[in-house]
Amino acid sequence: MTELNIFMQHNAIVDLIDGMSLVLKKRLTERQIEEPAVIGIHTGGGWVAKHVHRHLDCTDALGLLDISFYRDDFTRIGVNPQVKPSRIDFEVEGRDIILVDDVIQSGRTIRAAMNEIFDFGRPNSITLVCLIERGGRQIPVQPDVIGLRPPLQPNEHIRLNGPDPLSLEISRSRTPRASGNGQ
Amino acid sequence: MAGKRHQNFQLNEQGGLRHFLTIDGLSRELLTRILDTAESFAALPGRPVKKVPALRGRVITNLFFENSTRTRTTFELAAKRLSADVLNFNVSTSATSKGETLLDTLRNIEAMHSEMFVVRHNQSGAAHFIARHAAPGVSVINAGDGRHAHPTQAMLDMFTIRKHKGEFTPLRVAIVGDILHSRVARSQILALNTLGVTEVRVVGPHTLIPTDARAMGVHVYHDLDQGLRDVDVVIMLRLQRERMAGALLPSEEEYFRLYGLTNERLAVAKPDAIVMHPGPMNRGVEMESEVADGPRSVILQQVSYGIAVRMAVMSMCMQTYEAGGEGA
């Protein structure tokens, strides 16, 4: 049985992303990165990335990645029925990339996303921005900028709904859920 | 409905694709999913690395009992772009007992741990036969069997139509030529009707249209001008020379005069109608060069979409199962 709990609504989430974007801008200035390009990971990461992209006022269009074909469990779970084409309309080679996702847990999604980015070209750097950071890392991947780090039990699962309005929802199951969706 | 699904031999327990043998019995939703999945692959040629790692380390075998360099090459390219390893077997059909040969060949290759077979054979039903005898976890894709089916060709044609026309529902589609001997036409008709087009027409001489054509859900025309009137899509089929030898047609010139596509004849179709051909094309027989190379022709795009669609089908069929049989 699962219980559902909306714990953050649209305006608060947008404020959170605004805050993250300020921290990110500071980070970019420190590293002397002047022309970053933003890539969001379908689906939730894309929604967050859209706000970040607006804040950074980038000249290039927002890139979107669907990592379905790069997942390490692809042959076990098969093709995602809602797979969408990945789209990066700018040259990745030599660029400073801002990679955005909604929730990071095991780190496998980010590993897959980085592999996919490298198939587009060799970036100069990747800065990782995650709206929600939760424990459960199975791979040594850590975000550079975090929105929120809610304390969650193993049997609690967090999800970003959207795109408009955005909401963050926590569900509780009887048994701890493994990071099945590859976060 | 669930019972019907289990009866459909091509599907696994979760209702996903395991084999891809025929359009027959597949739902509109599943066909649409194949097209949607192919979208992801259609964008690959624009990248420096035109591959995804999805099927890395898996072995796909092209089992071609009937020669076809073109089709085999596109399947090979599709498999390689999924990072799979490819084996090519061109098997002669001159062996004595075809049934034995098919199974023996199959077992030999299975022993090399190939998880997927792409099969082309001049006998209808060959791909089904192999699929029925395949070991658990092995998938079969039909690359054309006799006069029965060529489902991946039909799907790439559907993908091409969707790219240019968007929705299927309002479309009138004309398929012109040797419908009787065409496995491509059979699969196209099934796909078009499943995807819900307004009308499918077949156009050709009496000798080349099956007598039970109407049962396939098409309107039959023997006059090209009437058949093409107001259509959105024109699909020209290849005319095989054997048909002249078999006295089903007087001559190529006669065929071109009655059924060949020229710009003049195309004028009765809708102004934005597209022209397709599964290939290889006989210029001056099925159509004149001005049409083949003209602005309405999407023939070359069909070829590149063919790789994306085959990648979609292969990636959807290829799946291992955990011991418990759970998919996710």
| Residues contacting B51, CB < 8 A, separation 6+ | A119, B44, B80, B81, B82, B83
Is A70 in CB contact (< 8 Å) with chain B?
A: yes
Residue A2 has a pLDDT of 62
Residue A57: is it exposed, middle or buried by C-beta count within 10 angstroms (0-12/13-18/19+)? exposed
Q: Name the class of domain B2-149+305-317.
A: alpha beta
For residue B271, the number of C-alpha atoms closer than 13 Å in the C-beta half-sphere is 0
pLDDT for B185: 96
Q: Identify the pLDDT of residue B116.
A: 94
The answer to whether the CB of A65 falls within 8 A of the CB of B23 is no
Instruction: Give me the residues paired with residue B121 across strands.
Output: B145
Q: Is residue A183 part of a domain?
A: no
Provide φ and ψ at B20, rounded to 5°. Answer: -130, 95
Task: Give me the mean pLDDT over the B99-108 stretch.
Answer: 73
Q: Please answer yes or no on whether A69 and B52 come within 8 Å at the CB atom.
A: yes
* B36, B51, B328 ranked by CB distance to A77: nearest: B328
CB count, 10 Å around CB of B173? 27
Question: What 3-state DSSP class applies to B264?
Answer: helix
Among chain B residues, the shortest Cα distance to A71 is held by B54
Mean pLDDT (whole number) for B89-100: 58
Picking from B17, B41, B163, B319 by the largest number of A CB atoms within 10 A of its own CB, the best residue to mutate is B319
- Cα B167 from Cα B162, distance rounded (Å): 6
Question: Which residues in chain B have their CB less than 8 angstroms from residue A180's CB?
Answer: 328
Average pLDDT over residues B140-167: 96
pLDDT digits (tens, 9 = 90+) for B11-31: 988 888 999 999 999 999 999
Asked if B325 reaches chain A (Cβ–Cβ under 8 Å), the answer is no
User: B271 is written with which tokens?
Assistant: 């102004």
The CATH number covering residue A146 comes to 3.40.50.2020
Mean pLDDT of the residues in chain B = 89
Two tokens, residue B1: 């409905």
Considering CB atoms only, which of B53, B58, B315 is closest to A79? B315
Contact B47 A70 (CB under 8 A): no
Domain residues for A34?
A: 12-150
Structure tokens at B7: 């009866």
Please report the DSSP string for A53-74 in residue order: HHHHT-SSPPEEE--GGG-TTH
Distance to chain A for B5, nearest Cα, Å: 18
Average the pLDDT over B91-98 and give the result.
52
Of the candidates B318, B312, B316, the one whose C-alpha atom is nearest the C-alpha of residue B44 is B312
Per-residue confidence (pLDDT) for residue B327, from 0 to 100: 33
pLDDT at B5: 44
Q: What is the pLDDT of residue A1?
A: 56
Whether the CB of A4 is below 8 Å from some CB of chain B: the reply is no
| DSSP-assigned states of every residue in chain A | -EEEEEEE-HHHHHHHHHHHHHHHHHHHHHTT--S-EEEEETTHHHHHHHHHHHHHT-SSPPEEE--GGG-TTHHHH---TT----B--S--TT-EEEEEEEEESSSHHHHHHHHHHHHH---SEEEEEEEEE-S--SSS---SEEEE-----TTEEEEEE-SSS-EEEEEEESSPPP-TT--
**In the structure encoding, which two tokens stand for residue B96, read together?**
């004595």
The answer to whether A77 faces chain B, any CB pair under 8 Å, is: yes
Residues A139 and A154: beta-carbon distance below 8 Å = no
Cβ contact B273:B231 at 8 Å: yes
**Does residue A169 lie within any of the structural domains?**
no
Give whole-number Cα distances, A129 to A57, B35, B90, B227, in Å: 16, 33, 51, 58
Note whether B179 and B58 are within 8 A (CB).
no
On whether residue A117 sits in a domain, the answer given is yes
Pairing state between β B59-64 and A37-41: unpaired
Q: What is the pLDDT of residue A178?
A: 54
Residues 6+ apart with CB under 8 A from B122: B65, B66, B93, B145, B146
Domain with CATH 3.40.50.1370 in chain B: 2-149+305-317, 151-304
pLDDT tens readout for residues B32-65? 999 999 999 998 988 899 999 999 999 999 998 8
Q: What confidence tens digit (pLDDT) does each residue in B253-279 have?
A: 889 999 999 999 999 999 999 999 998
Sort out which chain B residues have CB atoms less than 8 A from A86's CB and list them: 40, 43
Q: Pick A81's closest partner by Cβ from B33, B40, B52.
A: B33
- Which residue in B114, B142, B148 sits closest to B130, CA to CA? B142
* Total residues belonging to chain B: 328
ipTM given for this complex? 0.88
Overall number of domains in chain A: 1
pLDDT value of position B96: 41
Task: Decide: helix, strand or coil at residue B127.
Answer: helix
* Within-domain flag for A96: yes
Which runs of E-coded beta strand occur in chain B?
Answer: 59-64, 85-90, 116-121, 139-145, 172-176, 199-203, 219-221, 233-236, 274-276
Nearest-CA neighbor of A79 among B225, B317, B306?
Answer: B317
**CA dihedral sign, ordered B187, B188, B193, B195:** positive
- Cis, peptide link before residue A150, omega less than 30° from 0: no
* A160 assigned to some structural domain: no
Classified as helix, coil or strand, B170 is: coil
Question: Is there a domain that residue A29 lies in?
Answer: yes
Confidence of residue B326 (pLDDT cuts 50, 70, 90): very low
Domain B151-304 has CATH 3.40.50.1370: yes
Is residue A85 situated within a structural domain? Answer: yes
User: Is A162 part of any domain?
Assistant: no
pLDDT band per the 50, 70, 90 thresholds, residue B328: very low
pLDDT reported for residue B1: 46
Question: Left (φ > 0), alpha (ψ -120 to 50) or beta: where does A52 sit?
Answer: alpha
Q: What is the pLDDT of residue B243?
A: 66
Out of A76, A78, A84, the one facing B40 most closely (by C-beta) is A84
Q: What per-residue confidence (pLDDT) applies to B134?
A: 86
Written as tens digits, the pLDDT of chain A (183 aa) is 566 788 899 999 999 999 999 999 999 999 999 999 999 999 999 999 999 999 998 999 999 999 999 999 998 888 888 899 999 999 999 999 999 999 999 999 999 999 999 999 999 999 999 999 999 999 999 999 999 999 998 889 999 999 999 999 999 887 665 554 445
